[in-house]
Chains A and B, each alone.
Chain A
């Protein structure tokens, strides 16, 4: 048996192998569920019920999908251009705290129609700035951005922690470290009344489509792909490497910052240090799961959200640790990588 590289990747094949990969991941984690002494099919049924069984769980799953989509897009656009942004978590927090600070101290009096777009923009810009610093270090001194972006996550989180314990501390929170709340006018409109589901998921989906179009149709999309695949070749062809990477960084950091802004303005209204259960890092998995395709990110984010929300319900019902969700998502990443291999090669005997 040997492998041959394919000329083309038929779309149907890509979709079919992706679905197969998820099924394979579920089958593999089924072994672990069985080892834990629970009926496997029942466990998966419970996950589905946990994720979609009621109005509450459905809206909760979708609420979780929004930030995952945004951080997934942030990773996907950066990785396409071989800009290894591991810092979405930090960018998310910086976006979140910027929004909280701006709304509670500066823009709180503005009407929603003005304040919301302004705050989203500010949140995105905060994320951009946090990614432009490591990019500058890379372009100027060849510092590896994997290290710098990763480390900046901790810097950002500690910075936020300091702010919400000092200058931005909410005096009415009985001493809990949490930031002052954004103005009521800054809260995103709900998609459904009496739920946490807000319009963030629509914003994220629209951005996914927009980014897909940018990558496949525009000069910037072509150039950023060239820069990622072969920098020397791109420079020879006249692609402005630095400028292209700066644009990519703005897009990637902006998306991560936006995730933070939307999470604050859509759900809680204030910032705590557990605002994100690792959305920034999960975004990397989501992006890889989607094969760095922006439209795939939408589905991959939904899948991750289902697993995380559903696993909580399953865990309560069957007394299996909800960590099984992490295992399943991680396994699906592995099976997806194998599936990607099969979309690029064909088997010959």
Chain B
């Protein structure tokens, strides 16, 4: 075998007491796609940051074409043909696509002079790899998927031969993700080499030639995609067999939350159009759909941060007036927001403050915060919901995503709410944390809580929900029983084909 295009040899990196990378070696051949698989915190991003020269490794080397790269020099990495597509794009929203692609590579004073040349090069790249994008559009006006295309084009514009993608699908819709992987395969066929970081087994199996599994900073396995299975990879990644829990049959109770012809109009657009659903005690109602179809608005409505324009919301059979957040929390509604960093937590506040913020009437007297009671409440959540990584007075941003989510679930579930609104509760979590979150949701269901699960993950909805409704373009399909749902039916429902649902609807 000839020398590999890229070779990472014996790389180690220590952060404080934490060994983020422990003697990791890895090769990449021309035209190959390697997936770097591992849970959050397994060391994937650290390894790629070393590859790209952001971090200086404690030991080990990175070489391209047999030549060792100087450590800690991103420019050298770029010159050697390494291109990085960041998870959080490193682009300027106020510049045009073309300007974004040119910045950092062209000397400032000759920007205008070389624009024509750059545009031609960009057009050629776009055509060659099928990455369509308008070079004069303002970046901030583009969708997330298009912005990612710009990041990829920027790397290619710098003559990248090795493209590194950090969790490229984390921000994409399903359709966008599929399109992306088709593009990546095409790039490999044209001779580019790719490394992509992921913790999603499906996409790794479908796309990569070779899979390198990291766990706890170590390389635990390397497999050819053709010679492994999702089950094996899952076990390698987590280090033990993780089984996602599945709901057991149960008889639901009375209707606790009902929407009748609810419409939500925002800045002149109907985000929700005459939506109907009924949620019963002790059941999980799954709302499935591709994000951007009204889920966020539905969640906001049920979480008390938006009000319906028309139609009725009935809570325990009575119309909801204008309860707002405080009223809903008071009424025993637990709320898990879609974006835990943006809405679910205030990063620089302590865990205990985050635990009591939405229930201040309970944890205050005469306008004074009951600090002791709040600390005890947080300690209770930490103990009962297995929140690791800090105590009540730790700033919550120091917790991992999974532990933060456990705390958010915990502050809602600890009081046995009658209703739980859970929007994308497992998004971005690793396999172990997903199982824990699902287990908690099913536990609540067993205890009689009515759960409204808003999700775009088919597997999640099929495992947890008793009944499923699809959301498309702000409309909600009639429900179908989970037993009648398979991937194909749900896929059709998501795309707006509701005949299957209508047939069974009368029974529900």
Contact = CB atoms under 8 A, between A and B. Distances in A.
Interface stretch (B198-206, B340-348, B424-432): B340-348
Contact of B329 (A2, A7, A234, A238): A238
A233 B342 CA distance: 6
A44 interface: no
A222 B343 contact: no
Nearest to A2: B15
B80 interface: no
Given A217-B368, A222-B357, A239-B357, A232 B342 contact: yes
A75 B499 CA distance: 62
Given A218-B367, A222-B357, A7 B346 contact: no
B104 interface: no
A11 interface: no
B342 A222 contact: no
A238 B411 CA distance: 15
Interface residues of B, number: 33
Contact of B364 (A4, A219, A229, A239): A219
Interface in B51-92: none
Contacts of A233: 342-346
B249 interface: no
A230 interface: yes
B395 interface: yes
Contacts of A234: 346, 357
B393 interface: yes
A236 B353 CA distance: 14
Interface string A232-264: 111111110000000000000000000000000
Interface in A203-231: 217-223, 225-226, 229-230
A268 interface: no
A153 to B, nearest CB: 29
Interface in B256-288: none
Contacts of B394: 7
A3 to B, nearest CB: 10
Nearest to A220: B367
B357 A237 contact: yes
A5 interface: yes
Contacts of A235: 305, 325, 343
A8 interface: yes
A348 interface: yes
Contacts of A5: 398
Contact of A222 (B325, B335, B360): B360
A233 B364 CA distance: 20
A209 B364 CA distance: 21
B324 A238 contact: yes
A122 B303 CA distance: 42
Nearest to B360: A219
Interface of B: 15-16, 303-305, 324-326, 329, 335, 337, 342-349, 353, 357-358, 360, 364, 367-369, 371, 390, 393-395, 398
Given A223-B360, A229-B347, 15 more contacts: A4-B16, A8-B393, A217-B368, A218-B367, A219-B367, A219-B368, A222-B360, A229-B348, A230-B345, A230-B346, A234-B357, A236-B303, A238-B325, A238-B357, A348-B16
Shortest 3 CB-CB contacts between residues of A and residues of B: A238-B325, A236-B343, A237-B358
30 contacts: A4-B16, A7-B395, A218-B368, A219-B367, A219-B368, A220-B367, A222-B353, A222-B360, A226-B357, A229-B347, A229-B348, A230-B342, A230-B345, A230-B346, A230-B347, A232-B342, A233-B342, A233-B346, A234-B346, A235-B305, A236-B305, A236-B335, A236-B343, A238-B325, A238-B326, A238-B329, A238-B357, A238-B358, A239-B357, A348-B16
